């Protein structure tokens, strides 16, 4: 008598999920929650995500590649227009789209504009609704909000979540895993992000600058990793340049006696060491480049197409 065959492994699935919404809707927080690591910067300020950042999550036999897109808003500058183009590009390329709406803000004019654009830009691909930050509102307000949003657009599913606290996010991840198309995984099992470490390091420093500075200056600076040296002792030396648009901004970034840039460097280094699991030597320089907001090379470093801002 022959032994019964062992049960076959479930077929693998892999695909892309675009997270879209207004600025500060919680897309980066949800991406980090889904991936289980910090791969996208999170601040209380709007429009901090500038390019499409991909985080990789595993759920059962499915590999889900989450695309954190810049917030959708009415663009005013070339950089704004390129960011919005990147957001819609990420949505158009995805297998599933998830629209995040803040529970305490509800069906705003901005959300209505996104819904109008979804009808024209997304086509037949499934769109799910994630009402986020549910911990900020009374429970009885969630059903009317969900009904109003579903009346405005034919969402395939609605999820009530708190990306920050993790409420409802497991259900969303399981549903998305089932919606991924059959096929081999796109990335190694242990890869968390489709983002060069040089870029991730620059984004980490930009996050600390955004959190530290409270003027408009965070939107007029960018960070680039200029050099990366692997040292014999296993540590890494990272040299970065902070580009600002005005001479006065240079002094703000440096701070009195260099205290601001020192604090930013220390905070960024701690995050990088935690993520990389090894020692990091981080060196920051501030340079004034008045036209960086119009420089195609700077746009390319951010993963944006300068032509999209025209």
pLDDT tens-digit series, residues 139-194: 999 999 999 999 999 999 999 999 999 999 999 999 999 999 999 998 888 777 76
Taking residues 8-22, report their average pLDDT: 85
Q: How many CB atoms lie within 10 A of CB 91?
A: 27
How would you label 239-275 residue by residue, b for 16+ Cβ within 10 Å and e otherwise? ebbbbbbeeebbebbbeeeeebbeebbebbbebbeeb
Residue 268's φ and ψ, nearest 5 degrees, are: -65, -40
Structure-block tokens of residue 298: 């700077």
pLDDT tens readout for residues 23-77: 888 888 898 899 887 776 554 444 444 455 678 899 999 999 888 766 555 555 6
Q: How confident is the model at residue 261 (pLDDT cuts 50, 70, 90)?
A: very high
pTM (2 decimals)? 0.70
**How many residues in total does the chain contain?**
310
Taking residues 289-298, report their average pLDDT: 70
Q: Is the pLDDT of residue 289 over 90?
A: no
Residue 224's φ and ψ, nearest 5 degrees, are: -130, 140
Q: How confident is the model at residue 78 (pLDDT cuts 50, 70, 90)?
A: low
Q: Round to whole Å and give the CA distance between 295 and 80.
A: 14
Instruction: State the DSSP string of 213-261.
Output: --SSGGGGEEEEEEEEEE-TTS-EEEEEEEEESSHHHHHHHH-GGGHHH
More confident residue, 221 or 137: 137
Taking residues 101-114, report their average pLDDT: 92
Taking residues 103-126, report their average pLDDT: 86
Q: Round to whole Å and give the CA distance between 98 and 18.
A: 6
Q: How confident is the model at residue 256 (pLDDT cuts 50, 70, 90)?
A: very high
Q: Which residue segments constitute the domains of the chain, with CATH numbers given?
A: 13-179 (3.40.50.300), 196-309 (3.30.300.20)
Give the three-state DSSP class for 308.
helix
Residue 183: predicted pLDDT: 95
Residue 164: predicted pLDDT: 93
Residue 46: predicted pLDDT: 41
Q: Do residues 192 and 56 make contact, with C-beta atoms less than 8 angstroms apart?
A: yes
């Amino acid at each position: 008598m022959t032994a019964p065959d062992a049960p076959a492994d479930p077929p693998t699935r892999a695909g892309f999920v675009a997270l879209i919404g207004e600025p500060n809707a919680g897309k980066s927080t949800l991406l980090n929650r889904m991936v289980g690591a910090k791969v996208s910067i999170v601040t209380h300020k709007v429009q901090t995500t500038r390019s499409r950042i991909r985080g990789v999550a595993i759920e059962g036999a499915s590999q889900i590649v989450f695309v954190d897109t810049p917030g959708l808003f009415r663009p005013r500058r070339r950089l704004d227009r390129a960011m919005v183009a990147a957001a819609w590009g990420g949505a158009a390329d995805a297998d599933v789209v998830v629209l995040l709406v803040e529970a305490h803000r509800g069906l705003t004019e901005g959300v209505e504009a996104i819904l109008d654009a979804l009808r024209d830009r997304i086509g037949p691909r499934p769109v799910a609704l994630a009402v986020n930050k549910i911990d900020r509102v009374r429970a009885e307000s969630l059903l009317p909000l969900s009904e109003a949003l579903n009346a405005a657009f034919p969402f395939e599913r609605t999820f009530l979540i708190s990306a920050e606290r993790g409420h409802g996010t497991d259900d969303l991840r399981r549903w998305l895993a089932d919606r991924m198309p059959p096929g081999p995984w796109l990335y190694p099992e242990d890869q968390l992000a489709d983002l060069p470490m040089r870029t991730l390091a620059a984004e980490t420093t930009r996050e600390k600058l955004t959190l530290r500075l409270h003027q408009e200056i965070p939107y007029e600076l960018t960070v680039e990793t200029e050099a990366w040296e692997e040292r014999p002792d296993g540590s890494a030396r990272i040299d970065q340049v902070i580009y600002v648009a005005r001479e006065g901004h240079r002094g703000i970034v440096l701070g009195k006696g260099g205290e601001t840039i020192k604090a930013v460097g220390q905070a960024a280094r701690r995050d990088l060491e935690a993520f990389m699991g090894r020692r990091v030597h981080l060196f920051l320089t501030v340079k004034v480049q008045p036209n960086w907001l119009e420089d195609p090379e700077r746009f390319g470093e951010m993963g944006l197409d300068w032509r999209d801002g025209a």
